[in-house]
Amino acid sequence: MIKRVISFMVLLGFAFIFGKMLINWLPMSELNGVARAYVEREPQELGAVNVVTAIVVTYRGLDTLGEVSVLFLAATGVALLLRRRKNSTQNKENKRPASEFLKTGSSLLMPFIVMFGVYIFINGHLSPGGGFQGGAVIASAMLLMLLTFPDYRLNHTVLGWVESASGVSYVLVGVLGLLLAGGFLDNRILPLGTYGAILSAGAIPLIYVFIGLKVGAELAGVLENLKQEQ
């Protein structure tokens, strides 16, 4: 009982703080300094149509590297904690096979979902989207396969190689920026190209392809590991 009262008091405190923030909040009416500099200088400097992409990949590219590392550490942690044991294949026979509709439908849809994921991360510098979103879409295709075919095994070796190779290439592109252009993860190692064309914005599409492959492989690995456990 006393615990309930304490939690209620804590919540009330949070509600008070949030209420005060909400009442005193003035919506922004124009961009502040940093955002203004990003929006104004980005088309000339980096040549990406999507400013968010330019910030994520180049201006704050080091953050994205950290983010990818966090994702990698989490995926590794999941794999380590859910390591497959010998007796995990005992209750295989009580699994009901998927229906014909689900099987046909997901085999039909899976290549298109993967293609859409690739589309999202290749167009990350032109439209809303990017490596993480495209990778998540690709992982959702893998989830569809895992749900439809209970015995389906993703190839861990391939997943591991895709993940490691794309991660290493991402860092290598970053180091190339240090050597050939202004700094770590600078996208101007490749020509900027026509503004708005698919092969533009220097190394941003390249970096997003690597991020997309890495995230897709990592999330698919997490799903696979979680599935192994039931």
Site of interaction with other proteins (CB under 8 A) = 4, 7, 10-11, 14-15, 18-19, 21-22, 25, 27-32, 34-36, 38-40, 42-43, 49-52, 55-56, 60, 63-64, 67, 70-71, 73-75, 77-78, 81-82, 126-128, 130, 132, 136, 195-196, 215, 219, 222, 225-226, 229
Nearer to other proteins, 2 or 81 (CB): 81
Nearer to other proteins, 46 or 203 (CB): 46
The distance of closest approach from Cβ of residue 48 to other proteins in the complex, given in angstroms and rounded to an integer, is 9
Angle at 8 between CA 3 and CA 9, to 5 degrees: 100
The answer to whether the beta carbons of residues 226 and 78 sit under 8 Å apart is yes
The answer to whether the beta carbons of residues 108 and 203 sit under 8 Å apart is no
The distance of closest approach from Cβ of residue 174 to other proteins in the complex, given in angstroms and rounded to an integer, is 17
The distance of closest approach from Cβ of residue 104 to other proteins in the complex, given in angstroms and rounded to an integer, is 30
Nearer to other proteins, 25 or 101 (CB): 25
Residue type, 34: V
CA distance 199 to 73: 32
Provide the greatest CA pair distance for the chain: 67
Task: From 55, 84, 77, 64, select the one nearest 154 (Cα to Cα).
Answer: 84
What one-character DSSP code corresponds to residue 66?
A: H
Nearer to other proteins, 7 or 99 (CB): 7
In the structure encoding, which two tokens stand for residue 13, read together?
């405190």
Contacts of 148 (CB under 8 A, 6+ apart): 98, 102, 103, 106, 107
The distance of closest approach from Cβ of residue 217 to other proteins in the complex, given in angstroms and rounded to an integer, is 14
The distance of closest approach from Cβ of residue 178 to other proteins in the complex, given in angstroms and rounded to an integer, is 22
